[in-house]
């Protein structure tokens, strides 16, 4: 068995352990490995990947892009083991529609957004948007869930938020990190001082004491992105407010891998925390970060060594 064929087996095993079936991937990536073997090639290059992906000459570009996407995932896995392998760029084959790629915020990105929010004109508006950004980053809540919170949904004593009537009509409780609880307490004290008699029971308030509206939140966040000097990483990966949720999910999984936790056993708990109706939506995050794939590969290698 060739080294590349063996690595393919490892890659498929990792993805299946994450919950993916990989039937089509096994078939097509097997053909790709055969394609390289026929040319006596053991290292993936962009040229070879593109040649194979477009080999059905009469196929639709979306099918070419799908084939190349499968190679890209495999190449990301291989490059984590050997930098000689090349990863085909996401936009190499133009097709429509293009799937949005999560913009994963760094701690520095979030800090820059919070600083930009702190410069907003009114003190309450600045504090509200700083709290919103931190809350989304600390809990992975949907924006609509955050602006839909009422003051009574925050249990200060227990450090728990109750999210009611969510996207799928369910209610869930979110235990907060002590720093997040303290931050919300500070915000509540400030808003009560600046606006003792608001016109709404909302937790997060506008300067006039009303609940925030999503279009206005989106507009303000887009402006803060520019003021924080955050730029798109690719045409399909631009900084969006919803990506704070993606970032929370990916960082949670990274922490679990680094701590040696049982990630498959933890995923249903993360799905519940995020409010996913189907755990498969949570499994998707496992492919959102090359670092996650590399850590999963390390975990599989360690397991194989222990069982030899």
Active site residues per annotation: 142, 167, 242, 245, 276, 285
Asked whether the CA dihedral 242, 247, 252, 253 is positive or negative, the reply is positive
DSSP string, 240-284: -TTHHHHHHHHHHHHHHHHTT--HHHHHHHHHHHHT-SSTHHHHG
Distance CA 285, CA 300 (A): 18
| Helix orientation angle between 23-38 and 46-53, rounded to the nearest 10 degrees | 120
Strands (E), the chain: 154-155, 160-163, 172-175
3-state helix, strand, coil in the chain (%, to 5): 60, 5, 35
- Enter the tokens of residue 23: 């039937």
**How far, in Å, are 18, 37, 195, 305 from residue 2 at the CA level?**
25, 9, 69, 20
Sign for the pseudo-dihedral over CA of 156, 174, 130, 203: negative
Beta-bridge mates of residue 172: 163
């Amino acid at each position: 068995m060739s080294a590349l064929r063996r690595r393919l087996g490892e890659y498929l095993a990792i993805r299946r352990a994450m919950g993916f079936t990989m039937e089509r991937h096994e078939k097509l990536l097997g053909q790709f490995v055969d394609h390289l073997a026929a040319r006596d090639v053991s290292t993936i290059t962009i040229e070879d990947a593109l040649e194979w992906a477009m080999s059905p000459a009469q196929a639709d570009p979306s099918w070419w892009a799908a084939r190349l996407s499968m190679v890209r995932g495999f190449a990301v896995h291989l490059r984590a083991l050997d930098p000689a392998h090349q990863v085909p760029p996401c936009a190499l084959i133009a097709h429509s529609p293009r799937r949005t790629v999560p913009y994963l915020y760094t701690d520095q990105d979030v800090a820059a957004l919070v600083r930009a929010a702190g410069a907003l004109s009114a003190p309450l508006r600045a504090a509200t948007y700083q709290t919103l950004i931190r809350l989304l980053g600390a809990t992975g809540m949907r924006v609509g869930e955050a602006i839909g919170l009422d003051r009574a949904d925050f249990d200060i004593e227990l450090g728990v938020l109750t999210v009611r009537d969510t996207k799928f009509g369910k209610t869930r409780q979110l235990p907060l990190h002590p720093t997040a609880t303290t931050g919300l307490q500070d915000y509540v004290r400030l808003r009560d001082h600046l606006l003792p008699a608001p016109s709404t029971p909302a937790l997060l308030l506008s300067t006039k004491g009303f609940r925030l509206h999503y279009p206005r939140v989106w507009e303000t966040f887009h402006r803060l992105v520019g003021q924080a000097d955050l730029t798109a990483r690719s045409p399909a990966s631009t900084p969006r407010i919803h990506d704070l949720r993606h970032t929370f999910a990916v960082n949670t999984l990274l922490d679990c891998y680094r701590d040696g936790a049982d990630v498959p056993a933890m995923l249903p708990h993360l799905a519940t925390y995020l409010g996913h109706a189907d755990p498969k939506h949570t499994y998707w995050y496992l492919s959102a970060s090359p670092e996650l794939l590399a850590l999963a590969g390390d975990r599989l290698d360690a397991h194989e060594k222990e069982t030899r």
